[in-house]
Amino acid sequence: MELLKEKIAQNGIVLSNSVLKVDSFLNHQIDPLLMLEIGKEFVNRFADKGITKILTLESSGIAPSVMAGLQMNVPVIFARKRKSMTLIDDLLTSTVRSFTKNETNEISISNKYITENDCVLIIDDFLANGQAAIGLIDLVNQAKAQIAGIGIVIEKAFQDGGQLLRDKGYPVESLARIASLEEGNVSFVTESITEVSK
């Protein structure tokens, strides 16, 4: 997605060989128009998959997911990283290790909003080692729902999460794939992506 790549090239800050900071438009400050375009692109990539729900993880996954949900006219569920006092009924839970934040979170969703009749698109802001996606997949599997695919805003293609998910057979669509952050530079994977027209 060229618009996203341009935004990353212009506004992304390389903090190390593995950490890209996109706080100016995705992870802290949010560019709503860019989110709308990202939502539209997810619709293009996952057209005709019969998606009934979008599942994401708080907090940075919410904005792109809500815009995709708006375009697809389906509800968005965000998994919580901590238990909420008003989220007390039957929970589906999984565990996600975050290497960036050096912590382990329990993530959970209510068992009311994803059921065996659902076809779920998982969306997240970053894909690195794939731990968050695997946790979300686990929640969908516990709900006995189908997984339509995994939509990622930014994939760190130099880490193994993308390969791991594709090897498991999940359709993974990443709107920007980063080949390397070495020497403070962002370089993208150049590839021809077969896009399903809307």
Rounded least distance, CB 166 to a copy of itself, Å: 26
**Taking CB under 8 A as the rule, does residue 111 contact a copy of itself?**
no
**Taking CB under 8 A as the rule, does residue 19 contact a copy of itself?**
yes
**Taking CB under 8 A as the rule, does residue 27 contact a copy of itself?**
yes
**Taking CB under 8 A as the rule, does residue 195 contact a copy of itself?**
no
How far apart, in Å, are the Cα atoms of 158 and each of 38, 89, 189? 22, 40, 9
Q: Tell which one of 84, 95, 104, 187 touches a copy of itself (CB under 8 A).
A: 84
Q: Are strands 13-14 and 20-21 parallel, antiparallel or unpaired?
A: antiparallel
The phi, psi pair for 191, rounded to 5°, reads -160, 155
Helix (H, G, I), strand (E, B) or coil at 108: strand
Q: What angle do CA 98, 99, 105 make, to 5 degrees?
A: 20
Dihedral through CA 94, CA 99, CA 103, CA 105, nearest 10? -20
For residues 180 and 94, give the distance between their C-alpha atoms in angstroms, rounded to a whole number.
30
Q: Tell which one of 2, 10, 101, 197 touches a copy of itself (CB under 8 A).
A: 101
- Do the annotations mark residue 20 as ligand-binding? yes
* Site residues, a copy of itself (CB under 8 A): 15, 19, 21, 23-25, 27-33, 35-36, 58-59, 62-63, 66-67, 69-70, 73-78, 80, 84-87, 100-102, 109-110, 112-113
Binding residues: 20, 27, 128-132, 156
Binding residues for 5-phospho-alpha-D-ribose 1-diphosphate: 128-132
